[in-house]
A = this chain, B = another copy of it.
Amino acid sequence: MADEEPTPVAPAAPARPAARRAPGVKDVAAAAEVSLGTVSNVLNRPQLVSPRTRQKVEQAMADLGFVRNESARQLRAGHSRSLAYVMLDAANPFFTDVATGIEEVAAAADLVVFLCNSGEEADREARHLDHLQQHRVHGILITPVNAADERLSRLQEQGTPVVLVDRTDGAFHGCSVFVDDVLGGELAVAHLIEHGHERIAFVGGPGTLSQVRQRRAGALRALENAGLPPDRLIELSTSALTVAEGRGAAERLAGLPAQRRPTAAFCTNDLVALGLLQMCVRLGIAVPNDCAIVGYDDIDFAAAATVPLTSVRQPRRLLGSTAAELLLDEANNPRHQHQQVQFTPELVARASTLGHPAQPHTSTKIPGVLAI
């Protein structure tokens, strides 16, 4: 770090104005010379109030700078007008895209979304959940650190609707929205096999993540379908799904003797794939000629890589919007039934498996597969 000392520029201003008590409905009522109930009517059921009175009240509100007190409102109503998404990793574009889908639905229902970031830490997640429950939020969407956490079931029982996003778990008794990860793995590896690859690295880990396990299962199924033995899948396991781990995997891959070295790699997510890609090029392994690469998630940076990355796309926004709709149904519909909604992933083929440069119009069009 060179020079990160803060530099106060201006000595600055005389501090805030003396903060006298914020005006409430009572003050507005007094100013407008009506009862406090009338003010409330103007706010909540304006059609009940005569135009003249309404106008007077609105004027008074503007004059006083009245701001509704949401706490008091919620206290009376029993619940808030907001919902929350507790995300696993705010730095991963996948989750921010999911959040966008959630926000679309929430905005339509006139709810505000609070984004909370657990950063994959269980106790930070727990703190957020406690606080949200105390806030009596309308409901919680969450991509949990651990989907089987009994805290989630408890929340649900205590009356806060909870929907799992991009996860599902038998132990959790509620709605969930997720993508068929086994199929995703199968699509990826089938694509590689169709392009002539028969020794394929599986890069990902730790195995405690259900996503990793399922995507590997899909990879094995693709091998089986093609009549290839399971040992053609060469494990390069990582301790996390990060760019740095992807780079490390590339070094291990480069170290393998030529005849055992895989000609292609399937990475459990795009961050790992980008790291692998970067280090392969640096080590002189040409992509895709020496080693084809498939990633997972199809984040925007995948298409923007210097060798655009073939990746398995998940319907991120749809995942978010569907989850939000399930949540609203659970919160509002007394006859709600819990649902597990599964989506289908699709492969987006790009230069990292097709060759370089990608030609949109002539690139291989695989049935059920999107070429971009």
Contact = CB atoms under 8 A, between A and B. Distances in A.
Interface string A267-299: 000010011011001100000000000000000
Contacts of A127: 112
Copies per assembly = 2
Interface of A: 1-17, 19, 22, 65, 67-75, 80, 82, 90-91, 93, 96-97, 99-100, 103, 107, 112-117, 119, 124, 127-128, 131, 133-136, 154, 156-159, 161, 173-174, 243, 271, 274-275, 277-278, 281-282, 300-301, 303-308, 315, 318, 322, 330, 334-344, 346, 357, 368-370
A161 B16 contact: yes
A330 B69 CA distance: 21
A370 B304 CA distance: 26
Contact of A307 (B2, B173, B306): B306
Contacts of A2: 344, 346, 368-370
Nearest to A156: B16
A70 B134 contact: yes
B91 A96 contact: yes
A369 B4 CA distance: 12
B304 A7 contact: no
Contact of A67 (B97, B134, B315): B134
B346 A12 contact: no
Given A159-B22, A306-B307, A7 B344 contact: yes
Nearest to A112: B131
A130 to B, nearest CB: 8
A237 to B, nearest CB: 20
Nearest to A346: B2
A13 B300 contact: no
A250 B75 CA distance: 56
A318 B305 CA distance: 29
A258 B110 CA distance: 55
Contact of A96 (B90, B156, B281): B90
